[in-house]
Structure 1
Amino acid sequence: MKAYWIAHVNVTDPDQYTQYTQRAPAAFALYGGRFLARGGRSEALEGRPAAQRNVVIEFDSYEQAVACYHSEQYQEAKGHRAGVALADIIIVEGVAPA
Protein backbone atom coordinates (compact mmCIF):
# COMPACT_ATOMS: atom_id res chain seq x y z
CA MET A 1 0.00 0.00 0.00
CA LYS A 2 1.07 3.53 -0.63
CA ALA A 3 2.26 5.76 2.17
CA TYR A 4 2.33 9.50 2.63
CA TRP A 5 4.61 12.00 4.32
CA ILE A 6 2.56 14.81 5.75
CA ALA A 7 4.59 17.81 6.84
CA HIS A 8 3.47 21.05 8.46
CA VAL A 9 6.27 23.60 8.39
CA ASN A 10 6.73 27.11 9.75
CA VAL A 11 9.79 28.80 8.29
CA THR A 12 11.72 31.31 10.40
CA ASP A 13 14.52 32.06 7.89
CA PRO A 14 13.26 31.76 4.29
CA ASP A 15 16.67 32.43 2.71
CA GLN A 16 18.40 29.67 4.65
CA TYR A 17 15.41 27.32 4.21
CA THR A 18 16.14 27.21 0.47
CA GLN A 19 19.25 25.19 1.33
CA TYR A 20 16.86 22.47 2.52
CA THR A 21 14.34 22.79 -0.34
CA GLN A 22 17.14 22.54 -2.91
CA ARG A 23 18.45 19.27 -1.43
CA ALA A 24 15.49 17.32 -0.04
CA PRO A 25 13.71 16.59 -3.37
CA ALA A 26 16.68 14.50 -4.54
CA ALA A 27 16.24 12.22 -1.51
CA PHE A 28 12.50 11.94 -2.16
CA ALA A 29 13.11 11.02 -5.81
CA LEU A 30 15.68 8.39 -4.83
CA TYR A 31 12.96 6.61 -2.84
CA GLY A 32 10.18 7.14 -5.37
CA GLY A 33 8.53 10.04 -3.56
CA ARG A 34 6.10 12.22 -5.53
CA PHE A 35 4.86 15.60 -4.34
CA LEU A 36 1.06 15.79 -4.15
CA ALA A 37 0.98 19.12 -2.31
CA ARG A 38 3.85 21.49 -1.69
CA GLY A 39 3.20 24.77 0.05
CA GLY A 40 0.05 25.83 -1.82
CA ARG A 41 -2.97 27.51 -0.29
CA SER A 42 -4.31 25.96 2.90
CA GLU A 43 -6.87 26.72 5.56
CA ALA A 44 -7.21 25.21 9.02
CA LEU A 45 -10.86 24.34 9.56
CA GLU A 46 -10.39 22.70 12.98
CA GLY A 47 -7.60 22.39 15.50
CA ARG A 48 -4.34 24.31 15.34
CA PRO A 49 -3.80 27.20 12.92
CA ALA A 50 -2.49 26.18 9.50
CA ALA A 51 1.27 26.04 9.13
CA GLN A 52 2.94 28.33 6.61
CA ARG A 53 3.75 25.34 4.41
CA ASN A 54 1.90 22.04 4.18
CA VAL A 55 3.42 19.23 2.16
CA VAL A 56 2.17 15.78 1.12
CA ILE A 57 4.54 13.32 -0.55
CA GLU A 58 3.36 9.94 -1.86
CA PHE A 59 5.54 6.82 -1.74
CA ASP A 60 4.82 3.36 -3.12
CA SER A 61 5.15 1.80 0.34
CA TYR A 62 5.40 2.66 4.02
CA GLU A 63 8.86 1.08 4.09
CA GLN A 64 10.12 3.37 1.30
CA ALA A 65 8.79 6.45 3.08
CA VAL A 66 10.48 5.51 6.36
CA ALA A 67 13.72 4.53 4.60
CA CYS A 68 13.75 7.88 2.82
CA TYR A 69 13.44 9.78 6.10
CA HIS A 70 16.31 7.85 7.66
CA SER A 71 18.50 7.95 4.54
CA GLU A 72 21.84 9.70 4.50
CA GLN A 73 20.59 11.93 1.68
CA TYR A 74 17.54 13.18 3.56
CA GLN A 75 19.36 13.56 6.87
CA GLU A 76 21.96 15.74 5.13
CA ALA A 77 19.18 17.93 3.67
CA LYS A 78 17.37 18.02 7.02
CA GLY A 79 20.50 19.44 8.63
CA HIS A 80 19.95 22.58 6.56
CA ARG A 81 16.44 22.95 8.01
CA ALA A 82 17.63 22.92 11.62
CA GLY A 83 17.20 26.29 13.27
CA VAL A 84 15.43 27.87 10.29
CA ALA A 85 12.10 26.01 10.29
CA LEU A 86 9.86 24.15 12.73
CA ALA A 87 8.38 21.02 11.21
CA ASP A 88 5.85 18.37 12.23
CA ILE A 89 6.32 15.34 9.97
CA ILE A 90 4.34 12.12 10.04
CA ILE A 91 4.26 9.11 7.75
CA VAL A 92 0.88 7.46 7.30
CA GLU A 93 0.01 4.29 5.42
CA GLY A 94 -2.71 4.60 2.82
CA VAL A 95 -5.79 2.40 2.48
CA ALA A 96 -6.17 -0.55 0.17
CA PRO A 97 -7.84 0.28 -3.15
CA ALA A 98 -11.56 -0.44 -3.14
Structure 2
Amino acid sequence: MPISNTGYGIVPKYAEIDVASAGDNTIVAAVTGKKIRVLQYSLVCGNAVTVQWKSSGGSTLSGDMSFAANGGISSAFSPAGLFETAAGEALVLNLSAGNPVSGHLVYTEK
Protein backbone atom coordinates (compact mmCIF):
# COMPACT_ATOMS: atom_id res chain seq x y z
CA MET A 1 0.00 0.00 0.00
CA PRO A 2 1.44 3.41 -0.94
CA ILE A 3 2.39 5.83 1.80
CA SER A 4 1.60 9.47 1.04
CA ASN A 5 4.32 11.99 1.77
CA THR A 6 3.21 15.53 0.95
CA GLY A 7 1.20 14.56 -2.07
CA TYR A 8 3.17 11.72 -3.64
CA GLY A 9 2.96 8.03 -2.86
CA ILE A 10 5.84 5.72 -2.05
CA VAL A 11 5.51 1.96 -2.05
CA PRO A 12 7.41 0.42 0.86
CA LYS A 13 9.31 -2.83 0.49
CA TYR A 14 10.76 -5.01 3.23
CA ALA A 15 13.98 -6.96 3.66
CA GLU A 16 15.31 -9.36 6.26
CA ILE A 17 18.81 -8.84 7.62
CA ASP A 18 20.61 -12.09 8.50
CA VAL A 19 24.36 -11.90 7.91
CA ALA A 20 27.50 -13.16 9.64
CA SER A 21 30.43 -12.65 7.26
CA ALA A 22 33.16 -10.04 7.74
CA GLY A 23 33.21 -7.42 4.98
CA ASP A 24 30.41 -6.42 2.61
CA ASN A 25 27.07 -8.24 2.81
CA THR A 26 24.36 -7.43 0.25
CA ILE A 27 21.04 -6.70 1.96
CA VAL A 28 19.05 -5.44 -1.06
CA ALA A 29 20.15 -6.33 -4.59
CA ALA A 30 20.81 -3.58 -7.12
CA VAL A 31 17.93 -2.48 -9.35
CA THR A 32 18.94 -1.06 -12.72
CA GLY A 33 18.58 2.72 -12.74
CA LYS A 34 17.06 2.86 -9.23
CA LYS A 35 18.31 4.02 -5.84
CA ILE A 36 17.55 2.00 -2.71
CA ARG A 37 16.23 4.51 -0.15
CA VAL A 38 16.10 3.19 3.44
CA LEU A 39 13.10 4.41 5.45
CA GLN A 40 13.68 2.44 8.67
CA TYR A 41 15.96 -0.33 9.96
CA SER A 42 16.64 -2.43 13.05
CA LEU A 43 19.81 -4.37 13.83
CA VAL A 44 20.78 -6.77 16.63
CA CYS A 45 24.40 -7.96 16.88
CA GLY A 46 25.14 -11.34 18.46
CA ASN A 47 28.73 -10.42 19.36
CA ALA A 48 30.77 -7.22 19.52
CA VAL A 49 31.07 -5.81 15.99
CA THR A 50 31.27 -2.54 14.06
CA VAL A 51 28.84 -2.12 11.15
CA GLN A 52 28.49 0.44 8.38
CA TRP A 53 25.86 0.94 5.64
CA LYS A 54 27.35 1.29 2.15
CA SER A 55 26.38 1.51 -1.50
CA SER A 56 27.90 -1.43 -3.43
CA GLY A 57 30.10 0.97 -5.40
CA GLY A 58 31.95 1.71 -2.15
CA SER A 59 30.32 4.97 -1.00
CA THR A 60 29.60 5.00 2.72
CA LEU A 61 26.03 5.77 3.75
CA SER A 62 26.58 5.85 7.51
CA GLY A 63 29.41 6.22 9.93
CA ASP A 64 30.87 3.24 11.77
CA MET A 65 28.44 1.97 14.41
CA SER A 66 30.05 -0.14 17.15
CA PHE A 67 27.95 -2.56 19.18
CA ALA A 68 28.66 -4.71 22.22
CA ALA A 69 27.45 -8.32 22.25
CA ASN A 70 23.64 -8.41 21.97
CA GLY A 71 23.60 -4.68 21.23
CA GLY A 72 21.44 -3.14 18.58
CA ILE A 73 19.66 -0.16 17.09
CA SER A 74 16.21 0.63 15.77
CA SER A 75 15.91 3.80 13.72
CA ALA A 76 12.79 5.91 13.57
CA PHE A 77 10.66 5.62 10.41
CA SER A 78 11.32 8.45 7.96
CA PRO A 79 9.09 8.67 4.86
CA ALA A 80 11.68 11.02 3.33
CA GLY A 81 14.40 8.39 3.88
CA LEU A 82 17.40 8.01 6.16
CA PHE A 83 19.94 7.35 3.37
CA GLU A 84 20.05 5.95 -0.16
CA THR A 85 22.42 4.12 -2.47
CA ALA A 86 23.71 5.43 -5.76
CA ALA A 87 21.47 4.55 -8.73
CA GLY A 88 21.91 0.96 -9.87
CA GLU A 89 23.86 -0.11 -6.77
CA ALA A 90 23.02 -2.65 -4.06
CA LEU A 91 22.55 -1.79 -0.39
CA VAL A 92 25.38 -3.32 1.62
CA LEU A 93 25.97 -3.83 5.35
CA ASN A 94 29.69 -4.03 6.12
CA LEU A 95 30.78 -5.99 9.22
CA SER A 96 34.18 -5.54 10.87
CA ALA A 97 34.24 -9.22 11.89
CA GLY A 98 32.40 -12.45 11.20
CA ASN A 99 29.67 -12.07 13.80
CA PRO A 100 25.91 -12.65 13.47
CA VAL A 101 23.82 -9.55 12.75
CA SER A 102 20.08 -9.78 12.20
CA GLY A 103 17.13 -7.46 11.82
CA HIS A 104 14.96 -5.93 9.14
CA LEU A 105 14.53 -2.82 7.05
CA VAL A 106 11.87 -0.87 5.19
CA TYR A 107 12.94 0.68 1.90
CA THR A 108 11.71 1.99 -1.40
CA GLU A 109 13.14 2.10 -4.90
CA LYS A 110 13.51 5.61 -6.28
Task: Give the TM bin, normalised by the shorter chain.
Answer: 0.3 to 0.5
Query: Which protein has the bigger helix share?
Result: 1
More strand by share: 2
Tell me the TM-score normalized by structure 1: 0.37
What TM-score does the superposition give when structure 2 sets the normalisation length?
Answer: 0.34
Structure of higher RCO (CA pairs closer than 8 Å, 6+ residues apart): 1
